[in-house]
A and B are shown apart, each in its own frame.
Chain A
Amino acid sequence: MKVKVGDVVLPGDLCEEIVAAGEKSKVILGPGLKKEVDGIYVSKAGTLRKRAPNTYWVDNYQKRYIPARGENVIGIVAQKAGDIFRVDVGGSCTASLSYLSFEGATKKNRPKVVIGDVVYAKMLVASKDMEPEIVCVDSHGKKGRLGVLEDGFVFKCSLNLIRKILNPDCPLINSLKNQWPFELAAGMNGRIWIKANTLRETIALGNAILGSEYLSNDEIKSMCTNIAGILAGHIS
């Protein structure tokens, strides 16, 4: 079957539009598209999307994380092995995190990381044939927002939900941030870390995020006002 941008696509569909665009200039194929000898085929079920000028991908539903370079993820330290930590990021194998890839870490000055800690890190190496490697510093040696996440609460969700709430057009975070103070870190691997002042606020925040998965932008706004009302005690 032949498809165009914006269509719902299934594995095995052929994209002639991309081949035509590829003759004029270079195109970038994102997840869900695969080049074969006789054309470009879809490999995942979802919506075919395009970002100008030349990036194409399939927006599909998924829960299992496949490591990709440059993404920010939330991992749980599972093992200490010599000078590296093994971190569970939800992929098919654990990622390695060197103790030197923290801000200000030296051979003498080891970072204080113990088994069970939650870390917010960036994927440095992610290839299907190699173990993924994550770091907690950027290329300037600064930690930025990366590093060990203290306290808080971690829960899992689908990868779509992460992309949805991180989308600048999504009103969820903007509607919630004025209602009560909280901290939030969303990992592209389908994990969200939240920290609020009280247990009630943490639960409300978690429910607001999980509840927004199948809602439209307007519905998200009204849900947020509703939750804030309940939390403030206006509605019981």
Chain B
Amino acid sequence: MEVENTDLKDFKLRPMKCECNFLSKSDGSAILSQGQTVALVSVNGPLDIKMTSQSIEKATLEVLFTSKVGKPSVADRYKEHVIRQTCESAILGSLYPRTGITVTIQELEDYGGFTVCSINCACLALLNAGVAMRHTFAGVACAVDEQGNIQLDPDAAQLETARATMNFVFDSREKRLITSLTNGSFSEDAYKEALERCRSASQLVFDFYKDIVSKYSYVIG
């Protein structure tokens, strides 16, 4: 289940590589690299959870984020929260009431754009686990440099000189914005331009998902 793709060049997105079912014991897992940034996500569920965290109308989604080094920090908790809300909008939780779905994210390498890499990886892991979803979701990052130019999917060097960074997540149905996470100062026009460029670039990520799913669907069928 290993896939490589080449046509991310139009938008200058970094090359993406993915392997689904990377972990044998979890219900679904994926390892995704975008350039040098690598994330590993494991999904377990729907499974039994303790009574206090059960919800009678939908599945309880839990996201655990583990960074490569150091203790869990407030920033990690914030990332967990953002990713949980993104996944929750996509998962059809009402099909699995009183159960829990756990998404565990492990940072392997962070050379810029780790948030969107982990979001994309989480989506692939959820697809692999066979959790029912309303739509898939794809994240695209961009950076605004000192001159006000917008750079899609920036790497570590570009991020150092950047004035602002933005992360956008879109759904697959109508490419509506699900999550927007920004950092730094930028003008309203720059935000709008970045949003539209990321929206068009997200199609490449959706095509990439389809590519991966088709490669393994033909084998298992």
Point out residues on A near B: beta carbons under 8 Å: 1, 8, 10-13, 32, 34, 41, 43-47, 59-64, 66, 92-93, 128-129, 160, 164, 213-214
Point out residues on B near A: beta carbons under 8 Å: 20-21, 27-28, 44-48, 90, 92, 95-99, 127-130, 132-136, 171-173, 206, 209-210, 213-214, 216-217, 219-221
**Contact between A12 and B135, CB atoms less than 8 A apart:** yes
CB<8 Å pairs between A and B, sample of 13: A11-B172, A12-B134, A34-B92, A46-B213, A61-B21, A62-B129, A63-B130, A64-B28, A64-B130, A66-B96, A92-B47, A92-B48, A160-B220
Q: Which residues of A contact B44 (CB under 8 A)?
A: 64
Which listed residue (A46, A63, A92) contacts B96, Cβ 8 A? A92
Q: Which residues of A contact B210 (CB under 8 A)?
A: 8, 10
Q: Which residues of B contact A213 (CB under 8 A)?
A: 220
A43 to B97, CA, bound (A): 17
Q: Which residues of A contact B90 (CB under 8 A)?
A: 11
CB distance from B126 to the nearest CB of A (A): 9
Which listed residue (B27, B127, B128, B130) contacts A10, Cβ 8 A? B127
Query: Can you name 10 extra interface pairs (CB under 8 A) apart from A1-B172, A45-B136, A64-B27?
Result: A10-B127, A10-B172, A10-B206, A11-B127, A47-B217, A60-B130, A61-B20, A66-B96, A128-B96, A129-B97
User: Which single residue of chain B is at the shortest CB-CB distance from A36?
Assistant: B134
CB distance from B122 to the nearest CB of A (A): 13
**Contact between A61 and B99, CB atoms less than 8 A apart:** no
**Contact between B173 and A12, CB atoms less than 8 A apart:** yes
A129 to B127, CA, bound (A): 24
Given known contacts A63-B27, A64-B130, A12 and B213 CB-to-CB distance under 8 angstroms:
no
A1 to B135, CA, bound (A): 11
A160 to B48, CA, bound (A): 23
Q: Which residues of B contact A62 (CB under 8 A)?
A: 27, 129-130
Chain B interface secondary structure, helix, strand, loop or mixed?
Answer: mixed
User: Which single residue of chain A is at the shortest CB-CB distance from B214?
Assistant: A8
Given known contacts A43-B92, A47-B221, A11 and B135 CB-to-CB distance under 8 angstroms:
yes
A1 to B213, CA, bound (A): 15
Which residue, B20, B128, B217, has most C-beta atoms of chain A within 10 A?
A: B217
CB distance from B123 to the nearest CB of A (A): 9
Q: Which residues of B contact A214 (CB under 8 A)?
A: 219-220
Q: Which residues of B contact A11 (CB under 8 A)?
A: 90, 127, 132-136, 172
Given known contacts A43-B92, A47-B221, A64-B27, A12 and B46 CB-to-CB distance under 8 angstroms:
no
**Contact between B133 and A43, CB atoms less than 8 A apart:** yes
CB distance from B137 to the nearest CB of A (A): 9
A59 to B129, CA, bound (A): 13
**Contact between B172 and A12, CB atoms less than 8 A apart:** yes
CB distance from A182 to the nearest CB of B (A): 25
CB distance from B136 to the nearest CB of A (A): 5
**Contact between B129 and A10, CB atoms less than 8 A apart:** no
Q: Which residues of A contact B92 (CB under 8 A)?
A: 34, 43
CB distance from A16 to the nearest CB of B (A): 14
**Contact between A93 and B97, CB atoms less than 8 A apart:** no
**Contact between B171 and A12, CB atoms less than 8 A apart:** yes
Q: Which residues of A contact B173 (CB under 8 A)?
A: 12
**Contact between A59 and B221, CB atoms less than 8 A apart:** yes
**Contact between A10 and B213, CB atoms less than 8 A apart:** yes
A41 to B92, CA, bound (A): 12
A32 to B47, CA, bound (A): 19
CB distance from B21 to the nearest CB of A (A): 8
Q: Which residues of A contact B95 (CB under 8 A)?
A: 128
Which listed residue (B129, B132, B217) contacts A43, Cβ 8 A? B132
Enumerate the 6 nearest inter-chain pairs by beta-carbon distance, A residue then B residue, closest first.
A12-B135, A62-B130, A11-B133, A8-B214, A43-B132, A45-B127
Q: Which residues of A contact B98 (CB under 8 A)?
A: 92-93
User: Which single residue of chain A is at the shortest CB-CB distance from B209?
Assistant: A10
User: Which single residue of chain A is at the shortest CB-CB distance from B90?
Assistant: A11
